Amino acid sequence: MEIFGYSSHLQRWIEVGNSGMFRPEMLTPMGFPPNIRVIAWGLSLERPTMIKYGISNIRDLVGPRMQLQLIIDNPVLQYSGSYIVRCDLGVDGVDGKHVVEPPHIFITHSLQEAKQLCKQLYPKPVLCTYYSSSMDALEAYRSLVC
C-alpha cells in the first residue's frame, strides 16, 4: 500500500506513506523464526510538512541544507500526548546556519520533561524542536493527506 498527498505547490501527488513485508534475511538476525512474516507501514512527517508549507525539495526541510531559521521561526505546536524531540547538535561553521550532524531524536511524555532532558544531555546550548505524536496530531496530519 502506498499513500499519496497532493502538493499544489509542486502540482503533483507525492508519497507520504508506505507499507510492505520485511525480507526474511532482515528478520533472522533479530531472532524471529523462519516461518514468521512481518508487515510494516507508516506515515512520514516530512512530506505532509512539505505540502503544507510549499517546500519543493525535502533536503531544504531536513539534512545539511536545512536552514535553522525555519525551526527558530516556527514555535512548538502543543497537543496532549507524547512529544518527539529533535536536537540538532552541529551547525556549519562557514555560515552558522546549516546543520552538519544528524539530529538526535527521542520521545518524552511532556514538554517540560523534554526541555529538562535536553538540558541534562547537552550541557552546551542546542537547538531542540518538539513535535507532538498524539492522536490529535494524527488528526491534524490526516487533514493534509488526500
For every one of its 146 residues, what pLDDT tens digit does the chain have, with 9 covering 90 and above? 788 888 888 898 988 888 888 888 888 887 888 888 888 888 887 888 888 888 888 888 777 777 767 666 655 444 444 555 555 555 444 455 554 455 555 556 666 776 676 677 665 555 555 555 444 444 433 333 32
Query: How many other β-carbons are positioned within 10 Å of the β-carbon of residue 99?
Result: 20
Domain residues for the domain of 9 are: 1-61
H or E element that contains 49:
helix 46-53
**Residues 141, 74 within the same domain:** yes
**Burial class (CB within 10 angstroms; exposed 0-12, middle 13-18, buried 19+) of 89:** middle
Q: Which pTM value belongs to this model?
A: 0.42
Residue 95 φ then ψ, to 5° = -120, -5
Q: In this structure, are 2 and 43 located in the same domain?
A: yes
Judge if 52 and 83 occupy the same domain.
Answer: no
Considering the domain architecture, whether residues 70 and 56 belong to the same structural domain is answered as no
Q: How many independent structural domains does the chain possess?
A: 2
| C-alpha to C-alpha distance for 100 and 103, rounded to whole angstroms | 9
Supply the DSSP symbol for 130. E
Residues 52 and 72 in one domain: no
Residue (of 38, 29, 60, 43) closest to 141 by Cα position: 43
82 and 127 fall within a common domain: yes
